[in-house]
Amino acid sequence: MTAVRNIDHGTVTVGTLKQILEAFNRHDLDAIMEFFSDDCSFDFPRGPEPWGQRFIGKDQVREALNNRFKGIPDVHYGDDRHWVSADADMGVSVWTLTGTTTSGVSLKVRGCDLWEFHNGKVTRKDSYWKIVEPMRNK
């Protein structure tokens, strides 16, 4: 699949973000990485730092995504909405992630991605998930 961009301006559209999400739902690493610049970064929602865990460059991002797909083999992003800024250098995607981890934990969580673009490519993807906890009795 080829990344959809406005060829004349190299801009990203809402349709582009939808195509990226579709590639994530197919677990198609080749298609996903077509959308990313060589010097991209991806901040996962969990990790040892306040920003989670950061992966820099296509090789690290691809490996991190490969591990995500292995750890949650049926991961799916649905109930999605997308926005792109007027100058097409930033975007937002909101979605519900569902899946089951290899250790049997069922996931259903709302999250979002904050996107940054340059020349029609993703330069940064910063992901956030809600923290789902059981209600406590008072």
Asked whether residue 50 is domain-assigned, the answer is yes
Asked whether residue 67 is domain-assigned, the answer is yes
Asked whether residue 135 is domain-assigned, the answer is no
Give the confidence band of 138 by pLDDT, cuts at 50, 70, 90: low
Instruction: Confirm if 44 and 127 have CB atoms less than 8 A apart.
Output: yes
Task: List Cβ neighbours of 30 (8 Å cut-off, separation of 6 or more).
Answer: none
Domain total for the chain? 1
Instruction: Confirm if 105 and 39 have CB atoms less than 8 A apart.
Output: no
User: What confidence tens digit (pLDDT) does each residue in 16-41 have?
Assistant: 999 999 999 999 999 999 999 999 99
Asked whether residue 134 is domain-assigned, the answer is no
What value does the CA radius of gyration of the chain take, rounded to a whole number of Å? 15
Q: Which H or E run includes 63?
A: helix 58-71
Indicate the pTM of the whole model: 0.87
Domain that holds residue 87: 14-129
Asked whether residue 43 is domain-assigned, the answer is yes
Asked whether residue 51 is domain-assigned, the answer is yes
Distance CA 31, CA 27 (A): 9
Percent share of the chain, pLDDT over 70: 92
Instruction: Compute the average pLDDT of residues 80-94.
Output: 96
Q: What is the CATH number of the domain that holds 50?
A: 3.10.450.50
Asked whether residue 104 is domain-assigned, the answer is yes
Task: List Cβ neighbours of 105 (8 Å cut-off, separation of 6 or more).
Answer: none
Mean pLDDT of the chain, nearest integer: 91
Asked whether residue 137 is domain-assigned, the answer is no
